[in-house]
């Protein structure tokens, strides 16, 4: 009887571990406490950037690839073990990507916001590099989408409108609009001043109840903070989230708007955050991003150069590549521009490290 009880306890324990049913705080070494980082999709930023009408767009002979990491969660025991011994995969504690109290939807929303901010910073850095001078203070909240249920009647707001005042109070960002709406109740009338085609107009809306909590007011409009730029630049990153493509977005914009082909016909991949002043920051998953750049789909040329945030060079140098690639450390946008100039001239960039296949 005791032996049977022991067997049952062992079987139950194994079931809990393989299915990740035990809390990670109680027992952290189990599949459910980890996520796997794998090489993700690779995209040419030159195909993701759009510019407004009347802006000359230059062609490039090469490619400027942004790189991503694919995340697999909810691992079973066999996946957990297989990924743990794979040189292509890194396993990290689940809480690094999914902080306590956040579900997948919340993480996705946070990454989408980070991507939006990254695109704006990348655009500003690129335009400064191209010689444009402009004010970088936000000047309103741009309407990106009308969502149902919505307080908006036909024609009152449209995608592209910029909200500059709420109830007579000037607003300069999407957060300010959200905060002012939150002070109201469902059914309250709210006056907005929006600008369309350069013309301001006041409209009156009636806030609707939130479908998640009827006691809360809802405007039903997706907003982004608006900044008037000298060139209309739009980046379509699809479902890619996070801030790590900033450097490559910046280079893509410069390549498209500038007269010189930055690539010189080379397939260049890279990663790294960027701020408005052109400082490049570190990212996660560098090994997987390098692998993704060197193992593209059949018919797509692999990258021969990878721009690596300087702080990631130590980890990057250990990437188990199947094709040779040259790593170039980058700390600033100036570094990246100089490295690309060196490559076009047939010179080796400062600090370049060749990884053999």
The CATH number covering residue 333 comes to: 3.30.230
With H, G, I as helix, E, B as strand and everything else as coil, classify residue 271: coil
Asked if pLDDT for residue 315 goes beyond 80, the answer is: yes
How much of the chain exceeds pLDDT 70, in percent? Answer: 90
Residue 46, domain extent: 39-75+109-133+231-355
Cβ–Cβ < 8 Å for 106, 208: no
**Domain presence at residue 31:** no
b/e per residue, 24-45, with b = 16+ CB within 10 A?
Answer: beeeeebbbbbbbbbbbebbbb
DSSP structural state of residue 153: P
d(CA 209, CA 63): 48
CA 342 to chain centre: 29
Mapped onto helix, strand or coil, the DSSP state of residue 51 is: strand
Residue 5 lies in a domain: no
User: In total, how many domains does the chain have?
Assistant: 2
Q: What share of the chain is helix, strand, coil (3-state, %, to 5)?
A: 30, 25, 45
Band (239; pLDDT cuts 50, 70, 90)? confident
Amino acid 247: pLDDT: 98
pLDDT of 10 over the 80 cut: no
Distance CA 116, CA 224 (A): 8
Q: How confident is the model at residue 22 (pLDDT cuts 50, 70, 90)?
A: low
pLDDT computed for residue 13 by the predictor: 43
Report which secondary-structure segment, H or E, holds 64. strand 63-72
- The model's pLDDT over 186-199, given as tens digits with 9 standing for 90+, comes to 999 999 999 999 99
Residue 350, burial from CB neighbour count under 10 angstroms (0-12, 13-18, 19+): exposed
Q: Are residues 155 and 198 in the same domain?
A: yes
271 assigned to some structural domain: yes
Quick check: 40 and 68 in contact, CB under 8 A? Answer: yes
What is the DSSP code (8-state) at residue 26? T
Average model confidence (pLDDT) across the chain: 87
Looking at 210, 226, 242, which one is the last position of a domain? Answer: 226
In a domain, 71, yes or no: yes
Contact 142, 226 (CB under 8 A): yes
Read off the pTM.
0.79
Same domain, 191 and 238: no
| 50/146 same-domain check | no
160 occurs within a structural domain: yes
Question: Is residue 114 one of the residues assigned to a domain?
Answer: yes
- What are the tens digits of pLDDT across the range 108-149? 878 888 888 899 999 999 999 999 999 999 999 999 889 899
Residue 14 has pLDDT above 60, yes or no: no
Considering the domain boundaries, does residue 293 fall inside one?
A: yes
SS3 105: helix
């Amino acid at each position: 009887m005791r032996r049977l009880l022991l067997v049952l306890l062992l079987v139950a324990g194994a079931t809990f571990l393989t299915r990740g049913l035990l809390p990670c705080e109680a027992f952290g070494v189990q599949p459910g406490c980890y996520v796997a980082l794998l090489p993700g999709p690779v995209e040419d930023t030159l195909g993701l950037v759009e510019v407004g009408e009347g802006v000359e767009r230059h062609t490039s002979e090469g490619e400027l690839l942004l790189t991503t990491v694919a995340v697999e969660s909810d691992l079973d025991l066999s996946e957990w073990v297989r990924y743990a011994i794979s040189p292509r995969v890194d396993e990290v504690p689940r809480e690094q990507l999914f902080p306590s109290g956040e579900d997948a939807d919340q993480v996705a929303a946070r990454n989408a916001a980070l991507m939006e901010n990254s695109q704006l910073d990348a655009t500003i850095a690129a335009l400064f590099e191209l010689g444009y001078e402009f004010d970088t203070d936000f000047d309103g909240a741009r309407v990106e989408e009308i969502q149902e249920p919505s307080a908006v009647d036909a024609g009152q707001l449209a995608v592209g409108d910029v909200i500059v005042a709420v109830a007579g109070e000037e607003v300069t960002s999407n957060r300010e609009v959200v905060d002012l709406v939150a002070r109201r109740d469902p059914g309250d009338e709210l006056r907005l001043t929006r600008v369309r085609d350069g013309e301001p107009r006041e409209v009156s809306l009636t806030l609707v109840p939130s479908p998640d909590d009827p006691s809360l007011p809802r405007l039903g409009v997706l907003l982004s903070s608006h900044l008037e730029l000298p060139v209309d630049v739009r980046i379509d990153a699809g479902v890619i989230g996070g801030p790590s493509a900033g450097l490559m977005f910046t280079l893509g914009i410069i390549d498209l708007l500038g007269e010189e082909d930055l690539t010189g016909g080379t397939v260049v991949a890279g990663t790294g955050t960027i701020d408005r002043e052109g400082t490049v920051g570190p990212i996660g998953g560098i090994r997987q991003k390098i692998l993704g750049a060197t193992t593209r789909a059949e018919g797509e040329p692999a990258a021969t150069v990878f721009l690596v945030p300087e702080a990631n060079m130590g980890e990057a140098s250990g990437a188990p590549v199947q094709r040779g690639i040259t790593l170039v450390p980058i700390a600033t946008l100036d570094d990246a521009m100089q490295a690309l100039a060196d490559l076009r001239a047939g010179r080796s960039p400062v600090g370049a490290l060749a990884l053999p296949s």
